[in-house]
Amino acid sequence: MKRTDFDAVAERVRNWGRWGPEDQRGTLNHIGPEVLKAASETVLSGKLFSLGLNFDSNGPQLGARRFNPKLYPIDLFTPLNPERPAFVYADDVIHMPLQAATQWDALSHVHYDGLLYNGCKACDVLSPRGAAKLGVEHMANPGIMSRGVLLDIARLKGVDALPTEHAITPDDLDAACAAQGVQPKAGDILLVRTGHIRRFTIEGDRAAFNGHQPGLHHACAEWVHDRSLAAVCADNLAVEIMGAGRRDSEVPLPFHMLCLRDMGLPLGEMFNLEALAADCAQDGRYAFLLAASPLAFTNAVGSPVNPLVLK
Ligand code: UVW
């Protein structure tokens, strides 16, 4: 993507100042009481789905940059009271990148030209102490809940998983809406299924999961902005396409930059949409209640999450 083309889109989708100069929640501000009441009305069957991967040493990471969680049980078989040794407890320590598996990117996760969302200067915000502004704790309070809408692009194309070089376009999103009979509305959280997560969960191929992968073309940023969506999540590593030549582009990770930095829109990655998608295909209902609050790690640029869907 050419930098000049990128700048024109960035200007069009930029939400800086829209919710005040001190805003830390970006497009999550689209989720108000009316949106939440409408979201609760989508609950009809009482079926519950977790969209989270497990956090363990067999996770999706290759270890080169990010590694899989390491669990250290401590206080194993420790009596609560030495005089009552039959009553014992255990605690755990975990060592892991917050980006190890299913996770949210906070608004401080990426920036360009020295500025973060809402024009915050990166040099004032980011330090070895973390993100003084736009940290993930602001997404955790009051949390993230809304109507979720699944657009199953793999199913639309008649495949289990999209080919690795497939860039999902706004036309694909429109076609999925038409095929599935659902229209994303203001405040909704969009879940995009590529099927790519199966390369890890079903085929057990970590290298393929971390390699070239299908995902959203950056043109989808305007589609998302025009519908006032609150967040976008997908079942791949980065929500957006990570194809050949991505490192040579004038703008690396353009969808990340447009969403997180310009729109203030959080991205959810490695959401396992397989079981949910099968149920949606069966009952024809692609909208539901989604609860996906990150943990309130103060000053962190992301957080693990166990997203829950109630239909
Ligand atoms: C980067 O790799 C920078 O981001 P993400 O994990 O959000 O794709």
Q: What does the pLDDT look like over 53-92, one tens digit per residue? A: 999 999 999 997 899 999 999 999 999 999 999 999 999 9
Rounded to the nearest integer, the mean pLDDT of the chain is: 97
- pTM for this predicted structure: 0.97
Q: Would you state the structure tokens that stand for residue 289, as one six-digit string?
A: 């209640």
Specify the ligand 1 atom closest to the Cα of 240.
8
Do residue 112 and residue 80 come from a single domain? no
> Is 9 a residue whose pLDDT tops 70?
yes
How far apart CA 270 and CA 308 sit, in angstroms, is 14
**Shortest-distance Cα residue to atom 1 of ligand 1:** 238
Do residue 74 and residue 181 come from a single domain? no
Helices (H), 72-135: 122-125
Q: What is the pLDDT of residues 124-170, one digit of tens each?
A: 999 999 999 999 999 999 999 999 999 999 999 999 999 999 999 99
**Shortest-distance Cα residue to atom 2 of ligand 1:** 238
How far apart CA 125 and CA 127 sit, in angstroms, is 7
Do residue 161 and residue 131 come from a single domain? yes
Start-to-end Cα distance in the chain: 39
Count of domains forming the chain: 2
Do residue 205 and residue 57 come from a single domain? yes
Backbone angles phi, psi at 76, to 5 degrees: -65, 135
**Could you tell me how many helices (H) and strands (E) the chain has, helices first?**
11, 15
Instruction: Give the per-residue pLDDT at 65.
Output: 84
Do residue 226 and residue 92 come from a single domain? no
If you measure from the C-alpha of residue 109 to the centroid of ligand 1, how many angstroms do you get, rounded to a whole number? 8
Structural domain boundaries enclosing 290: 3-61+97-310
Do residue 138 and residue 268 come from a single domain? yes
If you measure from the C-alpha of residue 234 to the centroid of ligand 1, how many angstroms do you get, rounded to a whole number? 13
How far apart CA 226 and CA 203 sit, in angstroms, is 37
Q: What is the pLDDT of residues 233-285, one digit of tens each?
A: 999 999 999 988 766 789 999 999 999 999 999 999 999 999 999 999 999 99
Residues within a 6 A CB radius of ligand 1 = 99, 105, 109, 237-238, 269
**Shortest-distance Cα residue to atom 3 of ligand 1:** 110
Q: Would you state the structure tokens that stand for residue 240, as one six-digit string?
A: 């957006």
Specify the ligand 1 atom closest to the Cα of 256.
7
Do residue 89 and residue 122 come from a single domain? no
How far apart CA 57 and CA 59 sit, in angstroms, is 5
Mean pLDDT of 91-97: 98
- Residue 53 has, within 13 A of its CA and on its CB side, a CA count of 30
Do residue 200 and residue 212 come from a single domain? yes
Q: Which of 67, 99, 104 to mutate to test the pocket of ligand 1 (most atoms within 8 A of CB)?
A: 99
Q: Would you state the structure tokens that stand for residue 9, as one six-digit string?
A: 């889109």
What are the distances in angstroms from CA 238 to CA 129, 148, 235, 266? 25, 19, 9, 12
How far apart CA 187 and CA 229 sit, in angstroms, is 5
How far apart CA 75 and CA 166 sit, in angstroms, is 49
Q: How confident is the model at residue 207 (pLDDT cuts 50, 70, 90)?
A: very high
If you measure from the C-alpha of residue 238 to the centroid of ligand 1, how many angstroms do you get, rounded to a whole number? 6
Q: What is the pLDDT of residues 183-205, one digit of tens each?
A: 999 999 999 999 999 999 999 99
- Please, are residues 105 and 112 in contact by the beta-carbon 8 Å criterion? no
Do residue 26 and residue 92 come from a single domain? no
Of 16, 64, 46, 32, give the one whose Cα is nearest residue 211. Answer: 64
If you measure from the C-alpha of residue 145 to the centroid of ligand 1, how many angstroms do you get, rounded to a whole number? 23
Q: Which helix (H) or strand (E) holds 79?
A: strand 70-79
Do residue 81 and residue 213 come from a single domain? no
Instruction: Give the per-residue pLDDT at 247.
Output: 65
Of 264, 286, 265, give the one whose Cα is nearest residue 173. Answer: 286
Specify the ligand 1 atom closest to the Cα of 239.
8
If you measure from the C-alpha of residue 110 to the centroid of ligand 1, how many angstroms do you get, rounded to a whole number? 8
Do residue 168 and residue 304 come from a single domain? yes
Do residue 133 and residue 277 come from a single domain? yes
- % the chain with pLDDT above 90: 96
- Please, are residues 260 and 135 in contact by the beta-carbon 8 Å criterion? no
What is the domain-level CATH number for residue 102? 3.50.30.50
